[in-house]
Amino acid sequence: MLEKIVNCLRKGFCSKFTDLMLRTACIVAFYGFLRCGEFTVSKAAQFDPDINLCIEDVVFHTDLVVLKLKQSKTDPFRKGINIKLHKLGQLICPYKTLLEYIQVRKEFSPINQTDPLFITIDKKPLERQYFLTCIKKVLDLCGFNSSHYNGHSFRIGAATSAGKAKIEDHLIKTLGRWSSDSYIRYIRVTPASIKSAQNRLSRI
């Protein structure tokens, strides 16, 4: 499904910038197992750089990009969580897409480090409802029943794809930051394991 959404946005759905922004948000949400509220805001006016995802929360390294979530459902004390997205060498790659988006974003509008990561063409923070409305329209164009999808669909889809790819349960729970089984915290998950899991996701 992600591939069909990405292809539709590549062909042209809205403006060039909006299509790239939506494509990047979808890919990052999928590979990062993100909840919709972790990369969008309820209302643009409510954007808070101390809480919401900013430009400064994206750090590129040679083989991976780190996305820092300042708060999330599984981080009640707001210590921050680092989401590692590896360079996969696939057509759909979170590293490559995010790098392209950041470069285009800089050309589109001067940026400060505390500016929202995802913005609309009118330079406002990406709102949850706007994102969902756009994606539902894309899903309809792809032949899917958009009424079956909501803000958790990328997270659920990533988990489902991970299961199909036969990724181990503890890795899925680590990737998705689920804490239902306390034993997960005692299992060492190496960066190589996470990269391997993301590579397998890209083949589904």
pLDDT of residue 163: 66
Task: Give pTM, 2 decimals.
Answer: 0.81
Q: What angle do CA 186, 161, 91 make, to 5 degrees?
A: 110
pLDDT of residue 184: 42
* Structure confidence at residue 149 as a pLDDT band (50, 70, 90): confident
Decide: 194 and 84 in contact? Cβ < 8 Å: yes
The CA distance from 72 to 135, in Å, is 23
* Structure confidence at residue 200 as a pLDDT band (50, 70, 90): confident
Report pLDDT digits (tens) over 41-58. Answer: 999 999 999 999 999 999
State yes or no: pLDDT of 168 exceeds 90: no
pLDDT of residue 186: 39
* CA 42 to each of CA 34, 45, 47, 52, 69: distance values in angstroms, whole numbers, following the listed order: 15, 9, 8, 11, 16
Among the listed ranges 37-41, 128-132, 159-163, which one has the minimum average pLDDT value? 159-163
CATH architecture of the domain with residue range 2-158: Orthogonal Bundle (1.10)
pLDDT of residue 151: 67
Question: Domain extents for the chain?
Answer: 2-158
Q: In what order do the strands lie in the sheet with 58-60?
A: 58-60, 64-69, 81-86
State yes or no: pLDDT of 24 exceeds 80: yes
The CA distance from 105 to 107, in Å, is 5
pLDDT of residue 183: 33
Report pLDDT digits (tens) over 186-199. Answer: 345 678 878 888 88
- Higher pLDDT pick, 73 / 90: 90
pLDDT of residue 35: 87
